[in-house]
Amino acid sequence: MAVMSIDTATVRRPDTRRLTGALLLGALALVVVGRAAGLDQVPAAGTFVLIFTSLVVEALPFVLMGALVSAVIEVYVPLHWFAKVANLPVPVQLPAAALGGFAFPVCECGSVPVARRLIAKGMHPSAGLAFMLASPILNPIVLVSTAVAYAGRGVATEMVLGRAGLGLILALAAGWAIGGEGAKDLLRPRPDDVAAAHPDPSRAPESRFSSFTGHLAADFFFMGRFVVLGGAIAALMQTAIPQSIVSGVAQTPIVGALALMGLAFVLSLCSEADAFVAVSFVQFPLGSQLAFLVFGPVVDAKLVLLYGATFRRRFVLRLTAIALPVTLAGSLWFEVMMQP
């Protein structure tokens, strides 16, 4: 293969350079102005930035892991594997995909790009969705963290079984109900899909490694922006809205469960860490805490944006319409079962 240097006179694109330069200058200006204005001393700014940054720092490595798995699936897993899976009857694909979540140790930010890739590669949408919704709840890290968090309360086994059971039921129900339509009707097209489908003919074929890094970065940057935006919204809500407004309804089972589901939506916590927060809501019954643990990894502020970018319109509404009653009913039943 000929090694050629690039004629820099022809590769420069003034608009791109100008925009990149403007971005860098803008970022620098924000830092300088922020420091000069003493934003450190503004309580709301400090609270917002700390919560915002901590959410993104905690989530971003998992987004990368999800993008990594997604890129491996795209580049290194042979197509005929997916053809085999796609030929399986849906009643087999659906539970198998949901149970596959046990073996995928990333949180909800990582499961979305993987599910998207699986569906795009031919897995039945119902199965892909079941995997996406089940893996943040069923994966071993989440279940272990739930057990550790509740060990001190003496209900570790009950909470782990309750979370895994209700999470599995929700994933199967939502996957079955929403995934009936085809992949094209479910997935929102992305610019990278177009680029992959119509490669630039002037370029030599990409090496597998180059293709792998390209897909890895494409997914990471695509999903990452929504994690950042979701983190900003969650931080803004935590900075502006007192959480005490939900504590007054703690002891009412239905309202308490709804309140904690609302809080799970606002907090947008990583499923691998949320059990330590859920266990802190001691004035809420265990059923309401279970609702927090099951609803949060399926529908929260950052996920709504991520779903909106990944799936077509109305997906979030349809998912919420299923997740809310299923979680509520399951948590109430769990509460009854936990009564002495």
275-314 binders of another protein (CB under 8 A): 276-277, 279-283
Q: How far apart are CA 85 and CA 81, in angstroms?
A: 6
- Compute the least distance from the CB of residue 89 to another protein, in Å: 37
Query: Does the footprint of another protein cover residue 207 (CB under 8 A)?
Result: yes
Helices (H), ranges, 198-242: 208-240
- Compute the least distance from the CB of residue 39 to another protein, in Å: 5
| Amino acid symbol at 24 | L
Total residues at interface with another protein (CB under 8 A): 93
- Compute the least distance from the CB of residue 296 to another protein, in Å: 12
Q: How far apart are CA 254 and CA 265, in angstroms?
A: 17
The structure tokens listed for 74 are 């795209």
Query: Does the footprint of another protein cover residue 25 (CB under 8 A)?
Result: no
Q: Per-residue contact track with another protein, 103 to 142, x per CB under 8 A?
A: ----------------------------------------
Of 58-66, 96-104, 162-170, 176-184: span binding another protein (CB under 8 A) = 58-66
Query: Does the footprint of another protein cover residue 220 (CB under 8 A)?
Result: yes
Q: Per-residue contact track with another protein, 222 to 241, x per CB under 8 A?
A: x-xx--xx-xx-xx--xxxx
Among 84, 153, 184, 314, binds another protein (CB under 8 A): 153
- Compute the least distance from the CB of residue 64 to another protein, in Å: 5
Q: Which is nearer to another protein, 183 or 247 (CB)?
A: 247
Question: Which letter, b or e, does each residue of 57-83 get, where b requires 16 or more Cβ atoms within 10 Å of its Cβ?
Answer: ebbbebbbbbbbbbbebbbeeeeeebe
Short-list 144, 137, 162, 156, CA closest to 287: 162
Interactions with another protein, residue window 172-191 (CB under 8 A): 191
Query: Does the footprint of another protein cover residue 65 (CB under 8 A)?
Result: yes
Among 21, 25, 61, 92, binds another protein (CB under 8 A): 61
Query: Does the footprint of another protein cover residue 10 (CB under 8 A)?
Result: yes
| Amino acid symbol at 20 | T
Query: Does the footprint of another protein cover residue 198 (CB under 8 A)?
Result: no
Rg from Cα positions in the chain: 22
Provide the residue count of the chain.
Answer: 340
Spatial neighbors of 80 by CB under 8 A, at least 6 apart, are none
Among 78, 89, 242, 340, binds another protein (CB under 8 A): 242
Q: How far apart are CA 114 and CA 44, in angstroms?
A: 36
DSSP state of 206: P
- Compute the least distance from the CB of residue 139 to another protein, in Å: 16
Q: What is the dihedral of CA 23, 28, 31, 36, to 10 degrees?
A: -130
